[in-house]
Structure 1
Amino acid sequence: MPSLTILPHPELCPEGAKIADAPQGVSICRVLLDNHIEIEHACELSCACTTCHVIVRQGYGSLDEATDSEEDMLDKAWGLSPISRLSCQARIGSQDLTIEIPKYTINHAKEDH
């Protein structure tokens, strides 16, 4: 199984983290949540917001292409880059991944999930 490395984030993962056995075919967001990294996901993983936006620093090419719906939503994300994805839509492939969770989202109110 590929690994998922999370770069340090001041609130969600201050020291960074590494998930050694990230299951293929599962969304990055689900893997983060299952491993107690509480990334925002205001739309409950339905590709209707950008709160789970991540920047894929390594392994971007191993992910399936983003759908038109995901691309449309990503246009609204804070800190968008050419290697951005919505973690609820990007499914882990066969290669190791390194991701960065942006410091901000466009979410004005955060609920506990």
Structure 2
Amino acid sequence: MPVIKILPHAELCPQGAEVKAPRGTSICEALLDNGIALEHACDMSCACTTCHVIVRQGFRSLNAMEEGEEDLLDRAWGLEPDSRLGCQAIVADADLVVEIPKYTINHARENH
């Protein structure tokens, strides 16, 4: 079973974490199933960018990005070439290293 290493994030996992993820699971589901409260304001329907992650290792092992995800990512805070929406990035056989950006554009959570 692949392992996802989550780099330290001040609020969600200050020490970082490693979780096992069944093949075919999204990064978002894997983190949530293991107590890491990755935001997912649209309930993982690919309608927002709150589950934006940066895949530091294993990016090419993930499923191909569809057009809807590409369009949404343009609005994500801290977009990088290896950015994905956690709800759309499906784990294959390779281990992953994932960084959760410091901010999201979830205005409801940010009290704007």
Q: Quick check: TM above 0.5?
A: yes
Amino acid in the other structure paired with 2:37: E
Q: Which amino acid aligns with 2:90?
A: R
Q: In structure 2, list runs of 5 or more residues that go unmatched.
A: none
How far off its partner does 1:65 sit? 1.1
- Deviation at residue 110 of structure 1 after TM alignment: 2.0
The aligned residue for residue 13 of structure 1 is 13
Q: For 2:64 and 2:29, how far apart are their aligned partners in 1?
A: 18
Quick one: percent identity of the two aligned structures?
65
Following superposition, the deviation at residue 22 of structure 1 comes to 1.1
| Structure 1 unaligned residues grouped into runs of 5+ | none
RMSD: 1.0
1:48, 1:27 → 2: CA distance? 15
Aligned pairs, how many?
Answer: 110
Structure 2 length normalisation: TM-score? 0.96
What's the TM-score once normalised by structure 1's chain length? 0.95
For 2:84, the equivalent position in structure 1 comes to 85
Taking the TM superposition and a 5 Å limit, the aligned residue runs for 1:32-43 are 32-43=31-42
